[in-house]
Structure formats: structure tokens, C-alpha cells
Amino acid sequence: GAGVSQSPSNKVTEKGKDVELRCDPISGHTALYWYRQRLGQGLEFLIYFQGNSAPDKSGLPSDRFSAERTGESVSTLTIQRTQQEDSAVYLCASSGGQGNSIQYFGAGTRLSVL
Amino acid sequence: AQSVAQPEDQVNVAEGNPLTVKCTYSVSGNPYLFWYVQYPNRGLQFLLKYITGDNLVKGSYGFEAEFNKSQTSFHLKKPSALVSDSALYFCAVRDRGFQKLVFGTGTRLLVSP
């Protein structure tokens, strides 16, 4: 597609429920990233996928967070047993994967945990 | 460890005046440096990057940034601000050995008419 697409744009859930956030990267981009942006703060790295290599999960804050990517296409970020501190905007980015590539961001999913 | 500091939470400037948004960084090696802009309820838009070469980098919408290795800074500048430049600006760094971007906390730019 023309840009990185994320869905849903907004998600309201109850504490303890599981949520799935979706990211469609730019076609042909081999690298995909998830970041979290808490209110008034910068972006925190969560996870990085590059082609068929093992993902870099070093930024996932707890084992309640997981992500999958099928090949070089769609990625899903799953948060299990959501907590109020999970409330944030979750941003996805994709890039061509080269060393100096620009990361292009989607509009994000705003998650609110009540 | 990589880190980025944006010392100003907000910068106020009158339309037509020059603007500077400050950024300093810390990495173990030679950095890749980026500026992004975020408008309300939208994702981040790429403005410019420094990879190597000329220390003065020109980007979108008339913005430029100067890489200063000795001061480990990468300040964003524009000669003449527009009201439409009002937004949240993020500086980010990438160590060449890693893929993730490390972001500053952002600086809100407010340009008054």
C-alpha cells in the first residue's frame, strides 16, 4: 500500500482482556518495528522483525506482550491480560531494511484500558 | 547505551522568525540521526536524517539540522517559522550496530501568528 496501515485506530478494553493490534507495512519493506508512546513521552521500542530472521524482542516490557509477523507482510501485536499501564499509542513502522533506511510510521492504535 | 535528550519541552517562536529545536545524543559509535514530526492524532513523519558526509542536512518543509560530533548535538533549524510548523518534534538516534531507534521525549513547537 501507499503507507503503513494500522488497525484499529482506537481500542477501548477492560482490564484483564486480551487485545490484538494489526500492522500492514509498506509493500516491499522487509523490516517492521513496533513502538509504544505513552502520554507525554517519547517512543519506546518494543520489537523488530527483519525478513525471516529471529525477531529482536528486547523491548517487550513483559511476557504479556507478544508479536508475530508472517513473512514480510502483516504483523500482529498481542497484549494479554491488559493492565491500565498498557494504555498508550502503539505505533508500527516499516523500512527497507538497509542500514540507513528511514522508518515510516503508521498513524498508530490508541489503546485505552479501563 | 544509546540515549537522546531534548532539553526543551516547548519552544515558542513568532511566525517569520528563525527556530531551533535542540537535541543531544549519546551512542557508543557513529550514529545515524533522525528528526520526525508528529501532528495531532497522526503518526510520525520523517523530516531528515544524518548518515555521513556534510554536517548540514537539509530536509522536508525547509527544515535543516546540523550534526556536531564534538558537542554530540543534532539541532533542528528553520530560517523562517510558519504557523503550520506547530507540532511535536522528535529527535532519534540509531547506533549503527542496531536497528531500533531511540527517541527523545519530544519538543512541542508553537509558532504564533
Provide, as residue numbers in chain A, all residues whose Cβ is less than 8 Å from the Cβ of B21: none
Structure confidence at residue B4 as a pLDDT band (50, 70, 90):
very high
**Mean pLDDT computed over B70-80:** 96
- State how far residue B42 is from chain A, nearest Cα, in angstroms: 5
Model confidence pLDDT, tens digit, residues B12-63: 999 999 999 999 999 888 889 999 999 987 789 999 999 888 899 999 999 9
The beta-carbon neighbor of A91 closest among B4, B43, B92 is: B43
pLDDT computed for residue B77 by the predictor: 97
The beta-carbon neighbor of B101 closest among A41, A103, A107 is: A103
CA A82 to chain centre: 15
Are the C-beta atoms of A19 and A13 separated by less than 8 Å? yes
